[in-house]
Chains A and B, each alone.
Chain A
Amino acid sequence: MTGALSAQQAQSLKEFRDFADLRIAPHADSWHRAQRTPPEVVRLLADEGLLGLPVPSRYGGGGCDAVTLGLLAGELGRACSSVRSLLTVHTMVAHAVARWGDRALKETWLPRLASGETIGALAVSEPGAGSDASAVTTRLVRDGDDWIVDGHKKWITYGQSADLFLVVGQSDQGPTALLVERDTPGLRTELIEDLVGIRASMTAHVYLERCRVPGAQLLARPGLGVSHVVGAALDLGRYTVGWGCVGILDACLEASVDYASQREQFGSLIKEHQLVRRMITGMYTDARAARLLALEAGRLRDEGDPGALAATSTAKHFAATAAGRAALDAVQIHGANGCGSDYPVQRYLGDSRVMEVIEGSTQLHQVGLAEYAFQERALRRSIR
């Protein structure tokens, strides 16, 4: 399965795996129970250069390729979906700035995002606007050279601890994206607790009341906040979430194989029970298929191929739904032990539920992916 990787990517994978096993996985259940990511964990990721890995090297980042970023997201996702979510939201903001920021904005923010001195979060969702990002009601009004921002953002992953928010609202010219700093007067956050999954992800409400934001913080042009800024950020988010689901699949498989190899019932290890083997076969197959789809999406992204968008959505959709199946089966294999907190599989179950909601719900993908099939068929007909 690692044969498709270059020697450097394979080495990176080994380092990511060791880091996740030693520094993240042993603590993930306690962070899950505490519903917090300790600040020192964020610092650790930053100091290791992991948060800035995909930021262009000219701005102090690692300048890594998409496959390498995916491998990191996969290993973090295997250890802790909350920490993987931090990588996702932070890199979404950095990517949006790198893609559509003007030179001054890039020079101001990318070095800070690359070092982790500044942690970014995407502030799009609102109480009344989720999948339909263009329906956001946060108001952006020009006042001289500044913008005045009023609105309420909800479900903002790492919103409780982030330093910089990519806020999307409505201006007179349509959906518009701005970078808003946490210490802007009028901005406050409130932690949302008792989530079903990614419970350590510091997910928060973000309230913006007459926040004055310099015009230089504008990303792309007014009117392009959803089609281009959110479009670019979500595309990368789908990619790392998809890889995070590959990690959940691996985690479910590892936990289930370990448990089935030591648990005895009816006088034999349950790994000998045919219906247990059937569930493990399903996970094993899905984990490999999801990884291959994610690798293909990464390869196309690295080639700049326009087909990367469809490949990314396909990988995310497959991996998220497969992670859901795997987590259900992992709990089932663990029996009563899977329902309690002594084993991590109940955490995987909650996390997998969230994966089918974020970065394009399963139902949005079920409706949308068909579009790519029609496009590809139409192209073939036109060539003929």
Chain B
Amino acid sequence: MSTDTRARIAQYLSRFFPVQDLKDDDDIFELGFVSSMFAMQLVSFVEHEFAITIENEDLELEHFRSIKALDAFVTRKLSVPAAG
């Protein structure tokens, strides 16, 4: 868990949500603000911002559901060396 990671995620999500109202464990898919391209935007942001690659096996919605879940997912990906 990292304050910096959370802050960067929250700042990006501020494009889509009024982040002052968004709690760390709010379900962003249930808030209803997301556009049809949101999923791809979020994947692209996480890959670019944290220099990781999201693979097919990472595509669990649970990883993307909240700031807290995204933070945990990014932290875990950063701690594991990329597969060759």
Contacts and interface: CB of A to CB of B under 8 A. Distances in A.
A306 B13 CA distance: 12
Which has the most chain B C-beta neighbours within 10 Å: A232, A235, A304?
Answer: A304
A255 to B, nearest CB: 35
B75 interface: no
Contact of A100 (B11, B36, B37, B59): B59
Nearest to B37: A309
B1 interface: no
A371 B57 CA distance: 30
Which has the most chain A C-beta neighbours within 10 Å: B18, B45, B56, B60?
Answer: B56
Nearest to B43: A228
Contacts of B48: 303-306
A309 B11 contact: no
Range for the number of chain A residues in contact with chain B: 20 to 34
Nearest to A101: B56
Range for the number of chain B residues in contact with chain A: 20 to 34
A231 B43 CA distance: 11
A368 interface: yes
Contacts of A378: 14-16, 18
A224 B63 CA distance: 14
A368 B35 contact: yes
B80 interface: no
Given A379-B11, A382-B11, A221 B59 contact: yes
A376 B40 contact: no
Contacts of A227: 36, 39-40
Nearest to B10: A382
Given A379-B14, A383-B11, A306 B59 contact: no
A309 B49 CA distance: 15
A375 interface: yes
Nearest to B39: A227
Interface string A291-323: 000000000000111101100010000000000
Contacts of B15: 375-376, 378-379
A375 B47 contact: no
Contacts of A306: 12, 41, 44-45, 48-49
Interface string A366-377: 001001000110
A228 B41 contact: no
A70 B60 CA distance: 32
A232 B16 contact: no
Contact of A382 (B14, B36, B56): B14
A232 B56 CA distance: 13
B19 interface: yes
A272 interface: no
Given A368-B35, A378-B14, A309 B56 contact: no
Contacts of A224: 39, 59
A190 interface: no
Given A228-B40, A306-B41, A378-B15, A100 B56 contact: yes
B11 to A, nearest CB: 6
A368 B49 CA distance: 24
Interface in B40-76: 40-41, 43-45, 47-49, 56-57, 59-61
Interface of A: 100-102, 220-221, 223-224, 227-228, 231-232, 235, 303-306, 308-309, 313, 368, 371, 375-376, 378-379, 382-383
20 contacts: A101-B56, A102-B56, A102-B57, A220-B59, A221-B56, A221-B59, A224-B39, A231-B37, A231-B40, A306-B49, A308-B44, A309-B37, A309-B40, A309-B41, A368-B36, A368-B37, A375-B16, A378-B18, A379-B11, A382-B14
**A-B pairs, 4 with minimum CB distance:** A382-B14, A375-B15, A227-B39, A306-B44
Given A232-B40, A376-B15, 7 more contacts: A221-B59, A223-B61, A231-B40, A304-B47, A306-B12, A306-B49, A378-B18
Interface of B: 11-12, 14-16, 18-19, 35-37, 39-41, 43-45, 47-49, 56-57, 59-61
